[in-house]
Amino acid sequence: MRLLRLAKILGVALRFGLDEFVLAQSRFRALRPLVAVLTFWRRIERPRAQRLRLALEALGPMFVKFGQVLSTRRDLLPADIADELARLQDRVPPFSSDLVLRTLQRVYGRPAAEVFSEFDPTPIASASVAQVHLATLPDGTAVAVKVLRPGIATVIAHDIALLHAGASLLELLWADGRRLRPHAVVREFERHLEDELDLTREAANASQLRRNFTGSPLLLVPEVYWDYCSAEVMVMQRMHGTPVSQVARLREQGVDIPRLARAGVEIFFTQVFRHGFFHADMHPGNILVDAGGRYIALDFGIMGTLNELDKSYLAQNFVAFFRRDYRRVAEVHVESGWAPHDTRVDEFETAIRAVCEPIFDRPLKDISFGKVLLRLFQTSRRFNIEIQPQLVLLQKTLLNIEGLGRDLDPELDLWVTAKPYLERWLAEQVGLRGLLRRVREEAPQWGVWLPQLPRLVYHALSREDRSEQLLRELARIAREQRRQTRLLGAAALLLAAMLVLLLLALLP
């Protein structure tokens, strides 16, 4: 089956003349006569950009997603290709209405006409994995109904298998292949694609994001109607807004575009560092803007998560970078384990400075993060830094954010916008507020654990089996008790010091 899929990929590439992208390179020009003989049967009339888009659509969802990511990189792509690939955001050919109605019949056990008071069989949006129809619930609530493409799981499984084969080839033929951990990266994408294929997971993602931004003046997230959701169908609140890519229309509506661009940066950093849960598919086709200038998030199939350690190291990296403290950037890489422990920090610092210094004090229109990331990649290869699979989605989202910000406000100063937010977040984590927050978080666990300690010790001492494992467990409990005691003591001392200072300030 993999060979058949590979043959299809090669066949589609030849049919749409994609070999021209390869043969344009000087090292492959000698192959042009041979390819011309082998493809004498084809007639190429469409422009190259249109042929590329059609080929990606013919190859299915994995390749459509690849085109969606590429479409945001206008600084790296020719204008004709970027414009054509942008059509992949929301113009993927839909599947038939008959298949949609059949899916709804199977899921609900009755016709769509009996489930919804109104249902429009013509989709308003068609994406790589599912498409969306407008409907009305029996109580009059206007909703959007997302329906999974029939048979899509099988297609994606074959594409993932090919990606794993490509990862093996990468490790075999390229010296840096193993360091890049391509199989781990593919598995990370596979996990998130599996989430996209289960719409109940997407519905749960939407609910979580909505809860995180309840009352936010920056971001709206549709409500999910769980009684109508299943693995193949998701029903959510119908949202009204203008696509974020239609900047001229937003201006006509009176939306403050520079403010909108700054809000996008704040939303991103809020998701990543405050919640550790972020929308990882933020291409323009998934974002609307309401009349009040608030973002509306759509399509929650791919979400990223970061643990506390990842968030801390990332925030330290960003803040040090914004301060141009390249030595601290190098130290954080070593401390986090991303760089080998024997890395020469001074040499790594110099290499990072050479990459990053030229881009400061420039507006977004004059910066290409794609090129910066390429140079950072070359630097990481020199210092044997491993690619972190859990950060791959974050890197992809950063590129999407850059493309969005570039379209909205080329004059946006990313550093000025992001630096105060990150510094404030770090202060909350490592300052007194961070200490008190952690004490509050740990206190319930202490309340459960501490009363049990005498009983655990009694049972441990009364048992005949005094094995080394039991002694190690008692030692661990004692160490944990000492740690918690020190933490409580430190908190008490800090609070006492604050009270003393306050009293001194009040004395005449």
Same domain, 438 and 426: no
> Tokens 């803007």 belong to which residue?
289
Confidence tier at 499 by pLDDT (50, 70, 90): very low
Which two tokens mark 434? 């961070």
Same domain, 460 and 415: no
Q: Specify whether 98 is catalytic.
A: no
Q: Is residue 140 part of a domain?
A: no
Closest to 133 (Cα-Cα) out of 20, 282, 236: 236
Tell how strand 295-297 and strand 277-279 pair up.
Answer: unpaired
Q: How far is CA 57 from CA 45, 52, 61, 90, in A?
A: 18, 9, 7, 12
Same domain, 333 and 387: yes
Q: Is residue 59 part of a domain?
A: yes
Q: Are 393 and 399 in contact (CB under 8 A)?
A: no
Confidence tier at 507 by pLDDT (50, 70, 90): very low
- Mean pLDDT score of the chain: 78
What tens digit of pLDDT does each residue of 396-409 get?
777 777 778 778 88
Q: Looking at this protein, which amino acid is placed at residue 343?
A: T
Confidence tier at 245 by pLDDT (50, 70, 90): confident
Angle, vertex CA 503, rays to CA 501 and CA 507, nearest 5: 115
Q: Is residue 41 part of a domain?
A: yes
Q: What's the pLDDT at 160?
A: 79
Last residue of a domain, one of 402, 430, 458: 430
Q: Are 157 and 264 in contact (CB under 8 A)?
A: no
Same domain, 438 and 418: no
Q: What's the pLDDT at 430?
A: 59
At 14, give phi and psi (nearest 5°). Answer: -70, -40
| pLDDT for 327 beyond 60 | yes
Q: How far is the first Cα of the chain from the last one, in angstroms, to the nearest whole number?
A: 86
| pLDDT for 418 beyond 60 | yes
Q: What's the pLDDT at 458?
A: 65
Arithmetic mean of pLDDT, 114-132: 91
Q: Looking at this protein, which amino acid is placed at residue 397?
A: T
322: left (phi over 0), alpha (psi -120 to 50) or beta: alpha
Same domain, 295 and 342: yes
| pLDDT for 4 beyond 90 | no
| pLDDT for 37 beyond 70 | yes
Last residue of a domain, one of 64, 89, 114: 89
Arithmetic mean of pLDDT, 65-81: 68
Same domain, 158 and 249: no
CA pair distance 361, 341, nearest whole angstrom: 33
Q: What's the pLDDT at 460?
A: 59
Q: Is residue 215 part of a domain?
A: no
| pLDDT for 75 beyond 80 | no
Last residue of a domain, one of 397, 430, 463: 430
Same domain, 277 and 249: yes
Lowest-pLDDT range, 57-71, 72-86, 93-107, 493-507? 493-507
| pLDDT for 103 beyond 90 | yes
Q: Is residue 355 part of a domain?
A: yes
Same domain, 6 and 69: yes
Confidence tier at 213 by pLDDT (50, 70, 90): very high
Q: Is residue 265 part of a domain?
A: yes
Q: Are 198 and 187 in contact (CB under 8 A)?
A: no
Q: 121 or 80: whose pLDDT is higher?
A: 121
Same domain, 493 and 354: no
Same domain, 410 and 264: yes
Same domain, 443 and 425: no
| pLDDT for 147 beyond 90 | yes
Q: What's the pLDDT at 199?
A: 95
The domain total for the chain is 4
pTM to 2 decimals? 0.70
What tens digit of pLDDT does each residue of 276-313 get?
899 988 777 789 999 899 999 998 988 888 887 777 77
Q: What's the pLDDT at 503?
A: 47
Q: Is residue 15 part of a domain?
A: yes
Lowest-pLDDT range, 3-17, 63-77, 113-127, 293-307? 63-77
Confidence tier at 69 by pLDDT (50, 70, 90): low
| pLDDT for 209 beyond 80 | yes
Residue-range definition of the domain harbouring residue 341:
242-430
Neighbours of 262 (CB within 10 A): 21
CA pair distance 291, 274, nearest whole angstrom: 27
User: Please, what's the b/e burial string for 276-293 (b: 16 or more CB within 10 A of its CB; e: otherwise)?
Assistant: ebbbbbbbbbbbbbeeeb
Same domain, 277 and 333: yes
Q: What's the pLDDT at 374?
A: 56
Angle, vertex CA 257, rays to CA 253 and CA 258, nearest 5: 155
Confidence tier at 207 by pLDDT (50, 70, 90): very high
The contacts of residue 498 (CB under 8 Å, 6+ apart) are none
Which residue is catalytic, options 195, 281, 310, 409?
281
CA pair distance 234, 231, nearest whole angstrom: 8
Q: What's the pLDDT at 98?
A: 94
CA pair distance 186, 183, nearest whole angstrom: 5
Q: Between the CA atoms of 334, 335, 336 and 337, what dihedral angle is there, to the nearest 10 degrees?
A: 50
The contacts of residue 410 (CB under 8 Å, 6+ apart) are 363, 364, 365
